[in-house]
Structure 1
Amino acid sequence: MLITVLLVIASLSCLLTWLLRRYALASSLMDIPNARSSHSIPTPRGGGVAIVVCFVLAVLGLALLGKVDSVVVFVLGGAGGLVAVIGFLDDHGHIAARWRLLGHFSAAGWALFWLGGLPAVSLFGTLVDLGWFGHLLAAIYLVWVLNLYNFMDGIDGIASVEAICICIGGALLYVWLGDAHGSLMIVLSLAAAVLGFLIWNFPPARIFMGDAGSGFLGITLGVLSLQAAWASPQLLWAWLILLGVFVVDATFTLFRRLLRGDRVYEAHRSHAYQFASRHYGRHLPVTLVVGAINLFWLLPIALVVGFGILDGTIGLLVAYLPLVWLAAKFNAGALELK
């Protein structure tokens, strides 16, 4: 039964992506290559709407069947839906950065209202309640994850592969530790929706995700990580480890550009994965390596932390240090050659 449901979600996502591609071609909704692009031919964009629609419908259906907590619909549907609408409008035109940011913080505030904010955090085996400061950190965290996912969606398939790998990790944690609030079905439904889109987005991509899809994935994964933390404190660290590839590359790049005095809100292609794709001359090797890092390095560490075998703080450091080295090796945030 579970496999059938997931196949239906993936199939609908694949079909809707095909329809969105036809719509983008007919409406000239194209991503035109420029000096800041990592692709060389005009490509339709906006296909991530398929992920949004299929996942939200799946969660709504699960709630109506009593398989997931109805609060999940308000959290993911409200926050994710707002971010997706902002991204959709930005894909079709342009929204000033300040208004996008306001919308993003509004979505984060909505999610935190329903979640109850940030739960007590486990630091070296001790639970620490950060109070209102923790809720502020949680809002900044959600907005950062949302935006870094947009920043990291720059080559074919990378954002889709990242999301699927994270969902696989989350699913394994929930199988072992218990399915809190239907979380297992939620992450598997998200993975299925992304998989249907990936069929069209795998290198060489025939359609791009667009801001609607990448922003939605970012805030959805961020919300799921905080929801997991409410179920069990060590799960927050496990989810942060699963998000490691995107978190490290985006954060390393941001800080390096800030230190150099760059206008960080301007488009660029100085992330480690972008330098790597230009070095190898193709997107596919980089996307596959990202998947391998997720499955064979980050996932085992996340499971060990999630099962309580290793302290989350130590596990995060162990997981992130090689990623920091890779970011430095591939010149993340370095000045681009003209």
Structure 2
Amino acid sequence: MTFRQTLFFLLGSVIPALALALIGTRLMRWLSPRWGLVDHPAARKVHVTPTPLGGGIGIWLGVVGTFAAGQLALTLIGANSSWQELVPDFARPHLAGIHAQMLKLWILLLAGTVLMLLGLSDDRWGLSWQVRMATQFAVAAACVYFIPNLRLTVFIDQPWFTGMLSVLWIVALINSFNMLDNMDGLSGGIATIAAGFLAAVMLIAPNPDSPGPQLFVAGFLLVLTGSLLGFLWHNRPPAKIFMGDAGSYFVGFNIAVATLLASYTGYHGETRHAILAPLCVMAVPLYDLVTVLAIRIRAGQSIFAADKNHFSHRLVELGLTKPQAVLTVYLTTAMCGLAAVLLHRVDTLGAVLLMMIVGCTLSLIAILETTARRKIKQP
């Protein structure tokens, strides 16, 4: 693809989703209080005024609405051959492939909608962790075991094992983004950075099965990026609305399945290490998840108990302002994401060095914040 074609693809994917999410989230700012979707201040929360929830519906509308419009356009083009003249030249060869992928796309969007409604129910009425986890595992397992090629590529010829890892990956990312939703612009911003870097990998790294980029997965991620940007306009500090569990479940699920749909390398390819790209992009959300669970277990608390021990909270405890803490997490995520973009361009030694850079970055942060917190807590 030429630069002009890539730019057209980027804008055509991002702008419609951004506009729909921008409008949908603004509408939810008005509807949420009337529906009882309001997050009230509490000891474990950092906001001090009641704030509407329901931003997740705006994100959902941006994604689903954009693909619904795309589905309608494809149907009209298929029914009237003369309309194909309106399709850009670079996109015409891909129309058949896009048609073939649409059923899979709508199944995944349906699964994401189920999780969005689960989160919305939790936002409104509160659900037990057993119900939430059972539903997440059920939806993830149904997608992995009934949708072809939706599983991790780890070069292990054991479908039951790779299937189990894939289900755990989906559930882990759903809850990672849910845990990150604790400061204005944090979870949505991290998701935007992650989706953007993953889309870049799909556009830059060639498809192992064809000479071109992976437009389907890249387009999926770019639509999600646009929708998140529309939401972030309302979620920037001071936030006018939160995404809530509805948004974090939907976003985490979509990013997780996008990483599973992508092809990073052929089975016998020379850059098999490129399968580590999602791990680099998701390093910060997973770091937050693992460290929070470790803190809770060490303190003898339930791993499902809400608290203020998240990465962003710990940065604020060290003296950073909330915007500075969010920006620090953004920059750390971007640094790890850059490693993902480079993975397919380096040899095995280069991949080892990139993973060491990611590991050292997170280790340095862990050492600094642990040491500082220990000094703060000393009498």
Q: Could you tell me the TM-score, scaled by structure 2's length? A: 0.79
| Equivalent position SS for 1:174 | helix
Compared CA separation, residues 278 and 330, structure 1 to 2 (3 A): same
In structure 2, the partner of 1:224 is 258
Q: Distance in 2 between matches of 1:72 and 1:287?
A: 35
Say if 2:366 is the partner of 1:327.
yes
In structure 1, the partner of 2:78 is none
Say if 2:202 is the partner of 1:174.
yes
Residue identity opposite 1:6 in structure 2? V
Q: Distance in 2 between matches of 1:306 and 1:230?
A: 8
Report if aligned partners of 2:152, 2:165 keep a CA contact under 8 Å in 1: no
In structure 2, the partner of 1:89 is 121
| Equivalent position SS for 2:55 | coil
Report if aligned partners of 1:146, 1:217 keep a CA contact under 8 Å in 2: yes
In structure 1, the partner of 2:79 is none
Report if aligned partners of 1:234, 1:308 keep a CA contact under 8 Å in 2: no
Residue identity opposite 1:248 in structure 2? Y
Bigger mean CA offset, 198-207 vs 38-47: 38-47
Superposition deviation, residue 136 in structure 1? 0.9
Superposition deviation, residue 6 in structure 1? 2.4
2:226 pairs with one of 192, 201, 225: 192
Compared CA separation, residues 74 and 308, structure 1 to 2 (3 A): farther
Per-residue displacement from partner, 1:136-179 (whole Å, max 9, x unpaired)?
A: 12111211111111011100101111111112211221221243
1:35 pairs with one of 32, 43, 47: 43
Alignment of 1:61-72 (within 5 A): 61-63=69-71, 65=74, 66=95, 67=98, 69-72=101-104
1:293 pairs with one of 329, 332, 336: 332
Say if 2:131 is the partner of 1:99.
yes
Q: Distance in 1 between matches of 2:119 and 2:20?
A: 21
2:178 pairs with one of 150, 155, 165: 150
Per-residue displacement from partner, 1:220-248 (whole Å, max 9, x unpaired)?
A: 11111111147655443101111111111
Bigger mean CA offset, 205-214 vs 268-277: 268-277
Superposition deviation, residue 74 in structure 1? 3.5
Report if aligned partners of 2:184, 2:238 keep a CA contact under 8 Å in 1: yes
Say if 2:239 is the partner of 1:201.
no
Compared CA separation, residues 301 and 85, structure 1 to 2 (3 A): same
2:187 pairs with one of 151, 156, 159: 159
2:30 pairs with one of 12, 15, 22: 22
Q: Distance in 1 between matches of 2:159 and 2:354?
A: 25
In structure 2, the partner of 1:211 is 245
Report if aligned partners of 2:156, 2:162 keep a CA contact under 8 Å in 1: no
2:287 pairs with one of 240, 244, 248: 248
Larger radius of gyration: 2
Compared CA separation, residues 57 and 162, structure 1 to 2 (3 A): same
Per-residue displacement from partner, 1:262-292 (whole Å, max 9, x unpaired)?
A: 1111111101211213444632112222222
| Equivalent position SS for 2:44 | coil
Q: Distance in 2 between matches of 1:106 and 1:93?
A: 21
Superposition deviation, residue 321 in structure 1? 3.1
In structure 2, the partner of 1:309 is 347
1:284 pairs with one of 308, 311, 323: 323
Runs of 4+ that moved beyond 6 A: 334-337
Report if aligned partners of 2:295, 2:309 keep a CA contact under 8 Å in 1: no
2:140 pairs with one of 108, 116, 119: 108
| Equivalent position SS for 1:7 | helix
Residue identity opposite 1:56 in structure 2? V
| Equivalent position SS for 1:20 | helix
Question: What CA RMSD, in Å, does the superposition of the two structures yield over aligned residues?
Answer: 2.6
Compared CA separation, residues 291 and 218, structure 1 to 2 (3 A): same
| Equivalent position SS for 2:262 | helix
Residue identity opposite 1:57 in structure 2? G
Q: Distance in 1 between matches of 2:326 and 2:249?
A: 19
Q: How many correspondences in the alignment?
A: 330
Compared CA separation, residues 180 and 24, structure 1 to 2 (3 A): same
Report if aligned partners of 1:78, 1:111 keep a CA contact under 8 Å in 2: no
Report if aligned partners of 1:241, 1:298 keep a CA contact under 8 Å in 2: yes
Report if aligned partners of 1:201, 1:208 keep a CA contact under 8 Å in 2: yes
Bigger mean CA offset, 157-166 vs 128-137: 128-137
Residue identity opposite 2:140 in structure 1? A
In structure 2, the partner of 1:118 is 151
